[in-house]
Amino acid sequence: MSAGGIYHTIQQGETTSSLAQKYGLFWETIWDHPENEQLRNLRKNHNVLFPGDKIFIPAVRIREESVITDKKHRFQRKGIPEKLNMQFIDLYGDPFANAPYTLIVDGKVSNGALDDQGWLRAPISPNAQQARIEIGESGELWALDLDVGHLDPVTELTGIQARLRNMGHYNGPVDGKDGEGLSRAIRSFRSIHGLEINSDINEAFRNKLSEVYKT
């Protein structure tokens, strides 16, 4: 407990955006608070946290408005919904340009088309849990199932596994365990992106993986 707020311990699947929804704040109000400077330096991305991280939640500031009585007044909360931003590319970095997609988030279906760089940008609830994205037409369908908010930082082995799997290099479990399947995936990624071809997980590899995955 701290004066004017509380510390919250991150659970799997929680993000700064989902906590902002829970506590009635903007995510920027939480993430940019001085008490969270160390966490910002460690994690970089406000929605890629790790279980056990501690984040400071400042107290809600009460705002008062003067209004005329006996009339209807409409107030709108800002910052809702959250945005799902994903780029779809092949192993060699070529985008799935203008491909049709179906997005299913917690059972709600929407349809659209990726832009010419393969980006899908769609509003979702900050509390979204499950998403399925289907790219292409029937018969040539490519699908991705997501646990929204569950991506671990690239500093963690689970974060590396998840990124490599989502990019098509790795087809094993996201379990934090090393193995030959993960080693092959690392070598595959390294060979395509101009790194020395080995299975080392070092700073150069993590930086390139973050750059290509864009988080």
Domain annotation for the chain: domains and CATH numbers: 5-58 (3.10.350.10), 82-147 (2.60.40.10), 157-213 (1.10.101.10)
50: three-class secondary structure by DSSP: coil
- Identify the three-state secondary structure at position 21: helix
pLDDT for position 92? 84
What φ, ψ does residue 137 adopt, rounded to 5°? -95, 165
- Tens of pLDDT, residue by residue over 82-105, are 889 999 988 888 999 999 999 999
pTM confidence score: 0.83
Looking up tokens 């569950």, which residue turns up?
Answer: 150
Name the amino acid, one letter, at 157. L
Q: Which residue has the tokens 């929680």?
A: 14
Is the predicted pLDDT of residue 78 greater than 80, yes or no? no
Taking a C-beta distance cutoff of 8 angstroms, is the pair 116, 109 a contact?
A: no
Contact 1, 7 (CB under 8 A): yes
